[in-house]
Structure 1
Amino acid sequence: MPVITFSNNFKKKYENIVSINKIVEDVKNINKVDYVAAFLNNNIVSLNTIVKKDSTLSFIKKDDKFFLKIIRNTCLHLLGYSLKVLWPKIKLCNFFIKNSQFYYDFYKKNPLTKIDLLSIDKKMHNLVNRKYNILKKKMLYTDFKNLLINLNEYYKIKILKSNFKKNNNVTFYIHENHIDFLTDLQVPNISFCKYFKLQKISGVHWNSNKNNKMIQRISGTAWSDKNQLIDYIDLLKKKKKFDHRKINVNLNLFHLQKDTPGMVFWHHNGWFIFKKLENFIRKKLIKYKYQEVKTPFLMNNYIWKKSGHLENYKNLMFSTYSENKKYCIKPMNCPGHIQIFNNKLRSYKDLPMRISEFGSCHRNEFSGSLHGLMRLRNFTQDDAHIFCKKSQLNFEIKNCIKMIYEIYHTFSFKKIIVKISTRPKKRIGDNFVWDYTESVLFDVLKKQKISFIHKKGDGAFYGPKIEFELLDCFNRKWQCGTIQLDFYLPNRLGSYYINKDNLKKSPVLIHRAILGSIERFIGILIEEYKGNLPIWLIPVQVKIINISEKNVEYCIDIFKILKKNNIRSELDLKNRSIGLKIRESILLKIPYILICGDKESINNTISVRYLNGSTINNIFLLDFIKKIKKECNFF
């Protein structure tokens, strides 16, 4: 990215004032590269921007990551323009960009369907072919509001009132005769927006409030060139192929019902995986000296009010009544663990006290946000809370990090992004406490030589946190593990211990999760392994099949030997072709298929077929058993 710094020669060369477009032409004469936007004194601006004084200017090319955002901003406006051309009475609503996609909400009396996406896509491409310039303008708030009133854009007026101050100007863009107040940068000419694809149309609530009117949302993606778009579409196809909900159809792990949204019905095989994963974590809890507990699903409304959760989570909490008293179904486990800590008088000698729970939590998520195992209303957290002294913080956080990495590496997650979220604008506590808690987190990560991203202002209102994001085989980010410091909740719920001087002292609380939601982590594993889960985790490790009826007794003998060796096996002795038996086992993702025919029976051996199609003939059963035990030994 070329950088130009203007100093005393600026006025000499450009006579006090010049557009960036003019400067770009000078640069293009040197390196002949197409630029689409620029950074002017570290602020991203369009090429139409005027440079009035000595400045630092750097240029953004088509293949730059910033350009993708600009392209998607422009496609948002293009989508809105197309909707208004096709259906002039449509009311445009919110818009946003997330990851590689753009989203635009709108209201139409007679809702659009999937078929209408084709018409919208065609209209967008027709508009791109016009190669019109995109203009950026400013207008007084009052004038722009009157313009929206004349256009009868009810939702846009609402957005204007909630996002702009009356004494400020409103920035907006013009696509031919269509205006929209998208404040983020757009490309100078619509011809840059050739490579996009509309993906989905769905129903949502206005402003994500379930009490509001249902509107619609169109999502799409946009890229800077054709190959990028093709690669992304191919990636989506792969994701769809290995979607955990699709793989589940063959594996028969769980099901979800429309009449019980966001709640999992675990079948036998799925529940086996769940319990196996839970027991794996439980062994780690024992190693790191946690006390495992169980707290109630329901607790009195008073506790949630006192903890502050009712104020911050009210819309996400389920509640019920009994004997004229209100109870809340827990959305998290923290207040319950504090009740256990507060149940008896604690000494400084009792600290650190590490309380863990596989806590079943309920949150009233919007139905439109629910997604298989990845987003539920009822889920199980591998949750823990550590009550400790300030002097113990470094050691405890270090151990939490060690535990997190041990578990992630077990599942071959090697790409782990670590982030520290620090004090937000709206927070409690004085700066001295925030300085101390943040310095503890920074210090631990630096001493562990763990690189991290600093997310300023993203901490909770009561404390900073470390977040651990897993990158899966599709380079998707899954935020699972968290370590969060809290000087607030123990005080609010009256937690204290007796220190060396026989005085009451509030403990520091560390909130810690590793998998996050066990249900979601299973969904992540299914997609990461494409259904071929690690052998120690799956319900059936071996399927034994016979070639003919003469081999039945030999198959039964093998089954008994495997059972004695704690190898999970099943027999398939049905009178059908060997090909059908193998195919069924492959669909069930059983890693080892033992084929037993006359040759194997005579030689007292087995033939093993693997999921990848390879086969090893006539090996001894004991050698096979040693191999599986070695794979499962650690677990």
Structure 2
Amino acid sequence: MTELETLRHSAAHILATALLELWPEAQLAAGPPVENGFYYDVSLSHRISPEDFPKIEEKMREIVRAGQPFVCVPTSREEAEKLALRGRLGALSERPVPSEFKLDILRGIPEGEPITLYQNGEFLDLCAGPHVKSTALVRAVRLTHVASAYYRGDEKNPQLQRIYGTAFPSERELAEHLARLEEAKKRDHRKLGRELELFYFDEAVGAGLPLWLPRGAVIRQELQAFLGELLAKQGYETVFTPHIGELGLYRTSGHFPYYRESQYPPIPEPAVWESLVHEGCRCGDYANRLESGVVGGYLLKPMNCPMHARIFASRPRSYRELPVRLAEFGTVYRWEKSGELGGMTRLRGFTQDDAHIFCSESQVEAEVAGCLELVRTVLATLDLRDCRIRLGLRGPDSGKYIGEPALWEKAEAALCSAIRQAGLEFTREAGEAAFYGPKIDFLVRDCLGREWQLGTVQLDYNLPIRFGLAFVGADNREHRPVMIHRAPFGSLERFLAILIEHFGGDFPVWLAPEQVRILPISDQQLDYAREVAAALRKRRLRVSVDEKHETLNAKIRIAESQKIPYMAIVGKNEQSSKNLSVRSRRRGNLGVMALTVFADQLVDEVIRRSL
């Protein structure tokens, strides 16, 4: 843990202590540090609300002032279990009720791993640590919100209350963080997406399935056109694939079962379904038959890569064709639990800017370098320059990954070499690999300092083996290609959410759904306003005319609130001189311009994708 994570972990224990002092009957689950703060999960007979935060925080301050040391107590598994059964773990004192959650967490610790408890004051908790030396060091802490969460994230388990907070080494840093949170509320993509009419969620359609509204669709089309230009320069070919595929396809790729928890359940073929109904087959029986391969079915597409592999395999390939670069804006479907859905950032149906490169081993490094350059160009164009690079490697659980260790080592070495050749710094993180291969992730900080995982480049020696892919080499023999998965945006929906919050909805003119609004001062200028709009549309600019019976100031306020980059005001003088009085949302009044001059400047700004 970092020093800040250790501080926040300690703050979580202080929160737990305060909760128990206020409500001794509370049952605690777990309280880890998380990005920007910490939380503690608690089971309590009544609901905790933000109105309770002041008294909880006051109790926390008392614990801080008491300067209670954090003491590590190594123990045996047997002794820890006795304490849990006596209700002593996650408690201030013994009580007759067993610590059910602590007992379950204890039993989940693998055999042979050390068991440690941490104590501050009377509070004793099952914890691996570390902590600061004393509660007195947690000087700046604030509770932020409360939410519901299933124990261990499983809907079959009890629902708990998750109390979130944050902690910093100083009050100044806490104040700065809280100011950023307030700014984040103003920039929340769910709020701005609704106000700017970019997307919409409808219960009749389904949770986590967004509807792109016309203005949001403009941004999506512009992003796709932007990436399409870059892909054409790098020699990609566009493909389209279905939204549903045979279950066997995903058995071959390994998505079923390795990715099964994130997939929609398989859909039986109509004939199979009728047979199952006729037999009175229960869902569990059908699931068992699916597992054993006795019956088939279809799967809503969770990934595009298996279908791209089949496109590569659709005819014989020669080494002279390689690399083959296939790109698709492909919609995929993931079964996210309802509690994990969050606006456009976590969905059940979304579109990836996906591509797969099939190349020889000798071409891997150059192709990965091209992918890295592509991601960097995308991020720089959109002013997302503050990023770090993570090399995701296999974790210790070998059951989560396919393929031979030697191929993984080869893939990891190739990605390391490509990053170094590009002159980029990176960190290695175990457990962040895809199930089929290691990957490079770009983690970007937005203008509020929040980190998002965006572009990814993944190297895969395993799926070509599972799909039996081959090309004929210069020696006239068959060779196995290597597969590179890459997505600069990731999910278009999630990328839009990040852009909304990064720009605060105030998009650069090339992305803005409406680039210019013509504001006639009176109805006498309506014809001229329409004439101006028609001329600008001929230059492929997105324009509207405000024909409402409002004052000019009211029209300006409306355009400002809708974050229109440019307003062109036309009154008597502008009409007679065939000019425009131009106002920029960002730069204020730009003065009177000839229509052609304004159009030329605007088109140039769009072509350059100026920020």
Equivalent position of 1:247 in the other structure: 192
Look up the equivalent residue of 1:340 and give its one-letter code.
I
Conserved? CA contact 1:67–1:224, under 8 Å: no
CA deviation vs aligned residue, 1:251-284 (integer Å, no higher than 9, x gap): 1111123562111111111112112211221222
1:139 to 43, 56, 75: 75
Equivalent position of 1:40 in the other structure: none
Task: Write the distance in 2 (CA, Å) between the matches of 1:343 and 1:67.
Answer: 54
Look up the equivalent residue of 1:237 and give its one-letter code.
E
Note the C-alpha offset of 1:574: 2.1
Task: Write the distance in 1 (CA, Å) between the matches of 2:603 and 2:200.
Answer: 32
Q: Which residues in structure 2 correspond to 1:152-171 (within 5 Å)?
A: 152-163=98-109, 165=111, 170-171=115-116
Look up the equivalent residue of 1:440 and give its one-letter code.
A
Conserved? CA contact 1:424–1:461, under 8 Å: no
CA deviation vs aligned residue, 1:300-319 (integer Å, no higher than 9, x gap): 11121221111221121113
Equivalent position of 1:629 in the other structure: 603
Counterparts in 2 of 1:540 and 1:229: CA distance versus 1, 3 Å = same
2:37 to 98, 101, 104: 101
Task: Write the distance in 1 (CA, Å) between the matches of 2:590 and 2:114.
Answer: 74
Deviates more, 1:245-254 or 1:426-435: 426-435
Task: Write the distance in 2 (CA, Å) between the matches of 1:457 and 1:130.
Answer: 40
1:577 to 546, 551, 554: 551
Equivalent position of 1:275 in the other structure: 221
Please state if 1:235 is matched with 2:180: yes
Task: Write the distance in 2 (CA, Å) between the matches of 1:484 and 1:249.
Answer: 35
**TM-score, normalised via structure 1 length:** 0.86
CA deviation vs aligned residue, 1:497-543 (integer Å, no higher than 9, x gap): 22233333221111111100011111111111111112111221111
Conserved? CA contact 1:594–1:606, under 8 Å: yes
Task: Write the distance in 1 (CA, Å) between the matches of 2:159 and 2:435.
Answer: 32
Equivalent position of 1:317 in the other structure: 263
Equivalent position of 1:433 in the other structure: 407
Conserved? CA contact 1:106–1:216, under 8 Å: yes
Equivalent position of 1:445 in the other structure: 419
Equivalent position of 1:341 in the other structure: 312
Task: Write the distance in 2 (CA, Å) between the matches of 1:601 and 1:462.
Answer: 65
**TM-score, normalised via structure 2 length:** 0.89
Note the C-alpha offset of 1:549: 2.4
Task: Write the distance in 2 (CA, Å) between the matches of 1:298 and 1:405.
Answer: 32
Q: Which secondary structure state, in structure 2, belongs to the residue aligned with residue 483 of structure 1? A: strand
Please state if 1:287 is matched with 2:233: yes
Q: Which secondary structure state, in structure 2, belongs to the residue aligned with residue 261 of structure 1? A: coil
Counterparts in 2 of 1:517 and 1:270: CA distance versus 1, 3 Å = same
Counterparts in 2 of 1:344 and 1:184: CA distance versus 1, 3 Å = same
Please state if 1:363 is matched with 2:334: yes
Please state if 1:396 is matched with 2:396: no
Please state if 1:198 is matched with 2:143: yes
Equivalent position of 2:24 in the other structure: 88
Deviates more, 1:549-558 or 1:391-400: 549-558
Equivalent position of 2:247 in the other structure: 301
Q: Which residues in structure 2 correspond to 1:607-618 (within 5 Å)?
A: 607-612=581-586, 614-618=588-592
Note the C-alpha offset of 1:461: 4.3
Q: Which secondary structure state, in structure 1, belongs to the residue aligned with residue 127 of structure 2? A: coil
Q: Which secondary structure state, in structure 2, belongs to the residue aligned with residue 601 of structure 1? A: helix
Equivalent position of 1:408 in the other structure: 379
Please state which structure has a larger fraction of its residues in strand: 1
Equivalent position of 1:47 in the other structure: none
Equivalent position of 2:281 in the other structure: none
Conserved? CA contact 1:462–1:486, under 8 Å: yes
Note the C-alpha offset of 1:200: 1.2
Conserved? CA contact 2:517–2:544, under 8 Å: yes
Conserved? CA contact 2:16–2:40, under 8 Å: yes
Note the C-alpha offset of 1:558: 1.4
CA deviation vs aligned residue, 1:84-129 (integer Å, no higher than 9, x gap): 2222222111221112211111222444333333332232223223
Conserved? CA contact 2:9–2:31, under 8 Å: no
CA deviation vs aligned residue, 1:320-356 (integer Å, no higher than 9, x gap): 2222242111111111111111222222222211111
Note the C-alpha offset of 1:586: 0.8
Conserved? CA contact 1:135–1:173, under 8 Å: yes
Task: Write the distance in 1 (CA, Å) between the matches of 2:157 and 2:579.
Answer: 68
Task: Write the distance in 1 (CA, Å) between the matches of 2:469 and 2:78.
Answer: 53
Conserved? CA contact 1:470–1:477, under 8 Å: yes
**RCO comparison, higher one (Cα < 8 Å, 6+):** 2
Unaligned stretches of 5+ residues in structure 1 = 1-43, 45-65
1:470 to 444, 447, 450: 444
CA-based RMSD of the aligned residues comes to 1.9
CA deviation vs aligned residue, 1:367-418 (integer Å, no higher than 9, x gap): 2222111111111100011111111112211211222222222112222312
Q: Which has the larger radius of gyration?
A: 1
Look up the equivalent residue of 2:459 and give its one-letter code.
L
Deviates more, 1:601-610 or 1:422-431: 422-431
Task: Write the distance in 1 (CA, Å) between the matches of 2:144 and 2:599.
Answer: 49
Task: Write the distance in 2 (CA, Å) between the matches of 1:351 and 1:588.
Answer: 48
Counterparts in 2 of 1:339 and 1:429: CA distance versus 1, 3 Å = closer
Equivalent position of 2:572 in the other structure: 598
Seq. identity, %: 32
Note the C-alpha offset of 1:453: 1.9
Look up the equivalent residue of 2:106 and give its one-letter code.
L
Conserved? CA contact 2:258–2:435, under 8 Å: no
Conserved? CA contact 1:359–1:381, under 8 Å: yes
Conserved? CA contact 1:421–1:454, under 8 Å: yes
Counterparts in 2 of 1:168 and 1:280: CA distance versus 1, 3 Å = closer
Conserved? CA contact 1:468–1:480, under 8 Å: yes
Look up the equivalent residue of 2:156 and give its one-letter code.
N
Note the C-alpha offset of 1:422: 3.2
Note the C-alpha offset of 1:577: 0.8
Equivalent position of 1:386 in the other structure: 357
Look up the equivalent residue of 2:314 and give its one-letter code.
N
Conserved? CA contact 1:362–1:379, under 8 Å: yes
Task: Write the distance in 1 (CA, Å) between the matches of 2:114 and 2:546.
Answer: 74
Look up the equivalent residue of 1:367 and give its one-letter code.
S
Counterparts in 2 of 1:146 and 1:245: CA distance versus 1, 3 Å = same
Equivalent position of 2:57 in the other structure: 121
Look up the equivalent residue of 1:270 and give its one-letter code.
G
